[in-house]
Amino acid sequence: MKIDDLLYGPQGIKRNGLLGKTAASPGGVDFHKLLEEQLQGVAPAAPTQEMAPLTPMVNVSPALRVEGLSLSESAIEDLESFGEALKNKTHSAADLAPYVDAMEEKAVGMLSVREQLPPGDQLGALLDRVATVTYLEAAKYRRGDYSA
């Protein structure tokens, strides 16, 4: 077997004389020519529209933001602890109650901070998500999903 057979295949692709350049065999497709034709037929991109101006940030006290972040972080830690407690088969349903109580307290705290934030605030969206998950897990426990 020749090296040319390995490099250019049995379909008869031949060199143009330049390293790396090939031409299609008779009856084949010349992809370079096809690409050039397509590029010539492409219309220029339409100008992009300007982005809508960002809404100005409403003055929210840094202490409120820190409190919201702390509550959400603490709630996530409580959820992780609750998950670890659920994995432990020696815990009874009553052993899980302190975790659930803590999660419910955090959910209420996050919602009270959320009420003090302006609509559309990113911290508010985070607090909504974390409070929702926290509340749902507590509701599942209260409903009896984790006892049996």
Average pLDDT over residues 111-138: 95
Based on the number of CB atoms within 10 Å of its own CB, is 76 exposed (0-12), middle (13-18) or buried (19 or more)? middle
Q: What is the pTM of this model?
A: 0.59
Q: In three state form, how does the secondary structure of the chain look?
A: CCHHHHHHCCCCCEECCCCCCEECCCCCCCHHHHHHHHHHHCCCCCCCCCCCCCCCCCCCCHHHHHHHHHHHHHHHHHHHHHHHHHHCCCCCCHHHHHHHHHHHHHHHHHHHHHHCCCCCCHHHHHHHHHHHHHHHHHHHHHHCCCCC
pLDDT given for residue 18 in this prediction: 46
> With 90 as the cut, is the pLDDT of residue 102 above it?
yes
Please, which residues bridge with residue 14 across strands?
23
Fold of 62-143: Methane Monooxygenase Hydroxylase; Chain G, domain 1 (1.20.58)
> With 80 as the cut, is the pLDDT of residue 56 above it?
no
Q: Which residues contact 81 (CB under 8 A, 6 or more apart)?
A: 99
Q: What ranges do the domains of the chain cover?
A: 62-143
pLDDT given for residue 19 in this prediction: 47
Q: Tokens 């370079």 correspond to what residue?
A: 32
pLDDT given for residue 48 in this prediction: 66
Please tell me the least confidently modeled range out of 2-6, 96-100, 117-121, 127-131: 2-6
Alpha-carbon dihedral angle through residues 14, 20, 21, 23, given to the nearest 10 degrees:
30
